[in-house]
Amino acid sequence: RPGEDFAARLSARAGRMSASAIRELLKLTQRPEIISFAGGLPAPELFPLDAIRAAANAVLDRHGPAAVQYGTTEGHLPLREWIAAQTPGLTPGHVQIVTGSQQGLDLLGKILIDEGDVVLVEAPTYLGALQSFQPYGPRYVELPTDEHGIDVDALEDVLKTHPAKLLYAIPNFQNPTGRTLSLERRRRLVELTAQYGVMVLEDDPYGKLRFTGEALPSLFTLGLERVGGDPERNHVLYSGSFSKTLVPGLRDAWVQGPHLIIEKLVQAKQGADLHTPIFNQMIITELVGEVLPRQIEIVKRAYGERAQHMVGRLREHFPAGVQFTEPEGGMFLWVTLPQGLDTTELFPRALERGVAYVPGRPFFALGGGANTMRLSYSSATPEQIERGVRALAETFREAMG
C-alpha cells in the first residue's frame, strides 16, 4: 500500500547498517575535475589488460562451458592449491575463495560474532570491516596505535579486563594509517591472544606491496610456528586478496584457517552467493604463475614513487602542526590536523579547491578522529599529487587562520 512504513519492517540487523563513506565518496570523486586522494583505487593504467584478455580466451578454450557453469562453493581447486602452496603445511582444505576480501569479512562476522561479543579493533581501522561486522552486534573495544602499530601493552591491559572473541588487525601498511606492525609487537600480539583465547583475523590485502624496509612474517605464520606448523591449531585466520596486486574488479580473494572455520565459512557462503564467479577464479589462476609476480614488481615501484612524491609535497606545502605518516608500502597515508579542526567540515572547502580525501572519523569504531584524514596516492599522477597537496594546504591554512 502507498506510503506503507517500510522502515518498521526492517530487521534489527538492518537497523545497525550504515553506508560506507568510501563507497559514497567514490560516486562523487568520479568527477574528472576532482583530484581524488579518497578511494583506495589501484592504478588503472597498470592493469594487465592484455594478459587478462589472453587468460580469458585460454580459460574458455581449456574449460569450455565449465568456465561459466555453477562452481563449487570452496572455489576453483587449482587456485586453492596455488594459495595453499604459498604457506608450508597448508592444504587446499584450509583455503576458502571469497568474492573480494570484503565478503570474507562479512561471512566471518556472520559465523564468529554473536551480539555483544567483544571485538578488538585498531583505532583507526578499515571502515569496511566495521561496516561488515556491525550488523552482527559486536561490542567494539579500541586498541590504541602509534607509529609501530597496535600498542601491545595496552592490548594486554584490555585482555585482562575484556574477554574478547576476535581481534581484527591489518599488520602491513594499515588501512587507513599506512603503518606497519613491528616484528616484536607481532610476536607479543600472537602470544597474548593465544594466551587469552582470542581469535585473530589478519587482513592483508597490501602485504605484497612493500616498497621499502624489510618484509616481516605474517601473524598467520607466527601463529602456525607456535603450534608446530599445525593449521588445525592456529588461532590466527588470514584474509588475502588479488585486488591490489592484480585487479579489484574480478572480486577474487581468500580466507585461510582451520578446517572447522573453513567448513562453516562454506556453509555461510552457500547461503550468500553459492560461489565466487568461476570464470574470474579461472582467469586469476592463469595469471598467478608469471603475470602476478611481474605485476607486483610494477605496482610496488609505481606506488613507491607516488608515496615518495606525496610525502615530499606534504613536507614542502603542509603548514606546521599538521602531522602525517610515511608508509613503507601499500596505498595510504594518514594526516592529523591540530586539535579542534574537523576534516568532515573541511571536506566541502577542499572539494571547492578540486581535491577529495576520506575524513578520518568513519575509521574509528567508537567515534573520535575528527581532526584526521586518509590520503591515497595510488591512482594519482605526480602532477595531480602536486596540485592536490597544494589545494589541501590552502584549505588547512584558511581553517587554521
Judged by the rule CB under 6 A, the positions of this chain that interact with ligand N5F are 20, 22-23, 26, 39-40, 100-102, 126, 128, 170, 175, 203, 205, 241, 243, 248, 253
Closer CB to ligand N5F, residue 331 or residue 391? 331
200, β-bridge pairs: 167, 236
Closer CB to ligand N5F, residue 71 or residue 205? 205
Of the candidates 336, 311, 310, 308, the one whose C-alpha atom is nearest the C-alpha of residue 396 is 336
Closer CB to ligand N5F, residue 107 or residue 391? 107
- Give the C-alpha distances (Å, rounded to integers) separating 32 from 27, 28, 264, 303: 11, 10, 44, 21
Least Å distance, CB 207 to ligand N5F, is 11
DSSP codes, 57-117:
HHHHHHHGGGGGS---SS--HHHHHHHHHTSTT--GGGEEEEESHHHHHHHHHHHH--TT-
Let me know: does 235 contact 224? Beta carbons within 8 Å.
no
Closer CB to ligand N5F, residue 128 or residue 399? 128
Closer CB to ligand N5F, residue 7 or residue 19? 19
* Phi, psi angle pair for 240, to nearest 5°: -120, 165
Distance CA 30, CA 53 (A): 25
Least Å distance, CB 250 to ligand N5F, is 9
Least Å distance, CB 316 to ligand N5F, is 26
What is the number of helices (H) and of strands (E) in the chain? 14, 14
Least Å distance, CB 191 to ligand N5F, is 24
Least Å distance, CB 392 to ligand N5F, is 18
Distance CA 141, CA 124 (A): 12
Question: How many other β-carbons are positioned within 10 Å of the β-carbon of residue 119?
Answer: 25
Distance CA 127, CA 380 (A): 22
Least Å distance, CB 83 to ligand N5F, is 14
Closer CB to ligand N5F, residue 253 or residue 385? 253
Closer CB to ligand N5F, residue 40 or residue 92? 40
Distance CA 242, CA 258 (A): 21
Least Å distance, CB 369 to ligand N5F, is 15
Let me know: does 367 contact 249? Beta carbons within 8 Å.
no
Amino acid sitting at position 41: L
Least Å distance, CB 7 to ligand N5F, is 25
Closer CB to ligand N5F, residue 43 or residue 54? 43
